[in-house]
Amino acid sequence: MTQSSAVGKQTPSYSFFPTITASDATDAIELSEAYGLTPDPFQRFVLESWKARRADGKLASSRVGLSVPRQNGKNGALEASELFDILVLGRKVLHTAHETKTSQQAFRRLASFFRPEVNPDLARQVEQIRQVNGQEAIVLRNGGEIRFIARTKNSGRGFTADTLVLDEAQELNMEALGALLPAISSGPAGDPQQIYLGTPPGPTNDGEIFTKLRNDGHEATDPRLSWIEWSADRGCDLDDTEQWAQANPALGTRLMWDVVYDERAALDDETFARERLGMWSTEESARVIPQADWEACAEPNMRDAGGEVAIAVDISPARSTASIAAAGLTVDGAPWVDVIETRHGTPDWLLERIVAICGRQPVRAVLIDGKGPAASLIDPLKRRKIKVSITTGYNMAAAAADFYDAVLSHRLVHLDQPALNVAVASARKRRLGDAWAWNRKDVESDITPLVSATLALFGQSYSDVVRPTPRKTRRKVIVL
């Protein structure tokens, strides 16, 4: 690797936004410069698209997205935008982040502009600066206001805004977005805008929303969307310093070359490509379980040892699909999984199916996630004299890890079933404390076959399970 003499590239690797006929960007830049915030050329480029207006005076883009690696100064463009919105336009802004500390840092940066000893004329515009933990806000005399919050499933309720900022958008999930979007549906300006900022999602990020926004930007079909991205070329040499400069507009100025060299030495290729070069995963690389390893575990004609089985159930969040799976041992002692059935529609068929299986063959355990949609079956099963092993978040993480390890070591046997194959390809990770559990890659994906198979495998070997019915001493035939 030889250090390039170039500094970071100021134009994006990819951009899509409506044709700009007019823009408030010049005014926003002049305002920020007057108070000590001088945008870099790349930040000016971003502001041009964010602040563009249509012929009727409305904002040209109702949704804007920015993907750029960390420590390049994307927040500088955001601060210039927010200052202009609240000071000049009198807009109400709701600034959200995934973590409380991130939203508080953003609050402190913006609030510093309004300190009397720094900018006395700005301080005179202040009605109130609220610094209550988790409820930070800057309220101006002209009606402009900005609030800072960390996202939760109930965040943003009770506040009406014109601009919704979604920082750390690679962590944004549908539940949080659904709680926040109504806040801008009737904003006083009558001209709502959503601003998404982040980096390519990692394997444990809730990246569904940000990924879809990027896909929409690259499809270039939404006339109300702006998408701007700094990234290296796909398939590039990760040691090519020209690619480093292409992906990092602040390289050689606020982002030091030595820092990037150290990151290259410390990080594996996948992490460096994502975190420093802004490279988004392809469909295959985003898979949790590599296709080759999964295919190596396929054995449609496997021979069952004939012992006890564990069964498990999963229902999709919308209760539109459900699966039941079993796990046991082959004659060679290898664990196997079998998705007994997957159905679309209401899951009311599951109760009788479980009761029937438990009534005709030895079942070691019936497992259901105690916090998932299938938990609705627990009491009906108890009333039918079927005892359920209820799993916790810790169990779900352990089960996912066990399944993953069994596949990558090629210990697991599966029957090459299409529903399970598709679910494995569609599965992603979601953080669960310091561990992870299965997540869907998008709202259309059905991973109930995988979740039920994962829990069944866990129940086949886990010692702390409850036997659903009195032990059967003989088992002549398995009929699933």
Give the per-residue pLDDT at 477: 38
Contact between residue 249 and residue 9 where contact means Cβ atoms under 8 Å apart: yes
Give the per-residue pLDDT at 476: 40
Tell me how many helices (H) and strands (E) the chain has.
Answer: 16, 19
> Residue 105's pLDDT band (boundaries 50, 70, 90)?
very high
Tokens of 351: 């109760």
Contacts of residue 292, Cβ cutoff 8 Å, sequence gap at least 6: none
Give the per-residue pLDDT at 442: 65
Does the pLDDT of residue 5 top 90, yes or no? no
Contact between residue 229 and residue 42 where contact means Cβ atoms under 8 Å apart: no
CA gap 406, 453 in Å, rounded: 12
Rounded to an integer, the average pLDDT of 112-140 is: 93
pTM of the model: 0.71
pLDDT digits (tens, 9 = 90+) for 273-302: 999 999 998 665 567 898 999 999 999 999
Contacts of residue 397, Cβ cutoff 8 Å, sequence gap at least 6: 432, 433, 435, 436, 437
Structural domains for the chain = 14-277 (3.40.50.300), 291-461 (3.30.420.240)
Give the per-residue pLDDT at 134: 75
Give the per-residue pLDDT at 285: 58
pLDDT digits (tens, 9 = 90+) for 307-366: 899 999 999 998 999 999 999 999 999 999 999 999 999 999 999 999 999 998 899 999
Does the pLDDT of residue 99 top 70, yes or no? yes
Does the pLDDT of residue 306 top 70, yes or no? yes
φ, ψ (nearest 5 deg) of residue 203: -65, -20
Give the per-residue pLDDT at 288: 87
> Residue 81's pLDDT band (boundaries 50, 70, 90)?
very high
- Average pLDDT of the chain? 91
Give the per-residue pLDDT at 45: 97
Does the pLDDT of residue 397 top 80, yes or no? yes
Indicate the DSSP class of residue 471: P
- Burial class, 124, CB count within 10 angstroms (exposed 0-12 / middle 13-18 / buried 19+): exposed
Rounded to an integer, the average pLDDT of 31-36 is: 95
CA gap 399, 435 in Å, rounded: 11
CA gap 13, 236 in Å, rounded: 13
Radius of gyration of the chain (CA): 27
3-state secondary structure of 437: strand
Give the per-residue pLDDT at 475: 43
pLDDT digits (tens, 9 = 90+) for 206-246: 788 999 999 999 999 899 999 999 999 988 999 999 999 99
Rounded to an integer, the average pLDDT of 7-15 is: 95
pLDDT digits (tens, 9 = 90+) for 420-452: 999 999 888 887 777 888 987 666 789 999 999
Does the pLDDT of residue 153 top 80, yes or no? no
In which element (H, E) is residue 27 found?
helix 25-34
Does the pLDDT of residue 411 top 60, yes or no? yes
Tokens of 250: 């602040």
- Enumerate the H helices of 332-474 as residue ranges: 350-360, 378-383, 393-408, 418-426, 448-461
pLDDT digits (tens, 9 = 90+) for 160-190: 999 999 999 999 988 889 999 999 999 999 9
Contact between residue 93 and residue 161 where contact means Cβ atoms under 8 Å apart: yes
Give the per-residue pLDDT at 479: 42
Contact between residue 479 and residue 306 where contact means Cβ atoms under 8 Å apart: no
* Higher-confidence position of 200 and 6: 200
Does the pLDDT of residue 52 top 70, yes or no? yes
Rounded to an integer, the average pLDDT of 76-81 is: 97
* Higher-confidence position of 474 and 362: 362
